[in-house]
Amino acid sequence: MHTVGLVVFDRIAPFEMAVPCEVFGIDRTETGVPKGVPHYRLIVCSDEEGPLRTQGGFTIEAPYGLSDLREADTVVVPAWRDVEETPLEALLESLRQANRRGARMVSLCTGAFILAHAGLLDGRRATTHWMYSDALARRFPAVEVDPAVLYVEDEQVFTSAGTAAAIDLCLHLVRLDYGARVANMFARRMVVPPHRDGGQAQYVQAPVVQRFDECPLAETLEWVSANLHEPLTVAHMARHAHMSERTFARRFGEATGTTPLQWLLNQRIILAQDRLETSDAPIDWIAQDCGFGTGATFRLHFKRAVGVSPADYRKTFRQVPERRSA
């Protein structure tokens, strides 16, 4: 079982603390997650004394101490209370130890400052809430700050942008551990869009479209999703939406935070992940089915988006057709 250590402290922001609790701390065995999918064990850790205040005005108590972080496969650091404040050395040292041990390190929002203080972001790409990205870059010149992205991974160190990006990153971790299908179940249960790519813009005019309803491009998006196997071009999409290509591209950016082609590619990848997990079809067939002209193109995009080749992905996540027992 995968253990997630959540670091908490006095005057913590409730939201970023709650997101990992929601994703990693809930037993979902009754809610459609297939039997046999291991769940997470969440341990909430702090060395600070007594009941901890939250910025929401209520208090919490951490049942575990920092020393328990040694058990964590993943360490999550939520938004730090004050970007000007240097965290206590004890905290920084347990983070360094965890990192040395090979634990996956994750920061949410301004939690990146804590990782940076611990030196874990030196020479790495990282992000944080866009309001603080300048401050982070200034204070830690060795960190390559990307202010325009939802979350970043660099060698087992994950950082995410403001508030809602915490959800995206936590679900991304689930995807890495158990595959897209399981991550999508978590997402559905949380009523959250299944997959926002890490590289997506942080700052989007209209809130990112969740269900397609409510979105002016709903019909076109639905239509595209239903025709991923066709050789679609931006011109096709624009025509379907009754707009010039130029206007379509603009509208699309406002509504989704990405460009039409990137979105299309992403949808195709998600479809392909599902096929890889649930069928034994040859990879070239899947490529065709998902709208990639050739297997080579498919492999290229898949590797880039997911980080592993389609074949490796299947090896890891191919679901054994349910055998009742357990």
Partner DNA sequence: TAATACTACCGCCACA
Partner DNA sequence: ATTGTGGCGGTAGTAT
Judged by the rule CB under 7 A, the positions of this chain that interact with DNA are 233-235, 243-247, 249-251, 253, 259-262, 265, 292-294, 296-297, 300-301
Nearer to DNA, 29 or 244 (CB): 244
Angle made by CA atoms 33, 37, 38, in degrees to the nearest 5: 120
Nearer to DNA, 161 or 269 (CB): 269
Q: How far is the CB of 273 from DNA (least distance, A)?
A: 17
**Amino acid identity for residue 104 in this structure:** R
Residues 6+ away with beta carbon under 8 Å from 254: 204, 205, 206
State the nearest-atom distance from the C-beta of 292 to DNA, in Å.
6
Closest to DNA by CB, 101 vs 250, is: 250
State the nearest-atom distance from the C-beta of 252 to DNA, in Å. 7
CB 277, CB 179: distance < 8 Å? yes
**Closest CB 311 distance from DNA, rounded Å:** 16
- Looking at the Cβ atoms of 21 and 148, the one nearer to DNA is 148
Rank residues 240 and 318 by Cβ distance to DNA and give the closer one.
240
Residue 262 Cβ vs DNA, minimum distance, rounded to whole Å? 5
What's the rounded Cα separation, in Å, for the pair 101 and 83? 27
Q: Which amino acid is at 321?
A: P
Least Å distance between CB 260 and DNA? 4
CB-nearer residue toward DNA: 86 or 244: 244
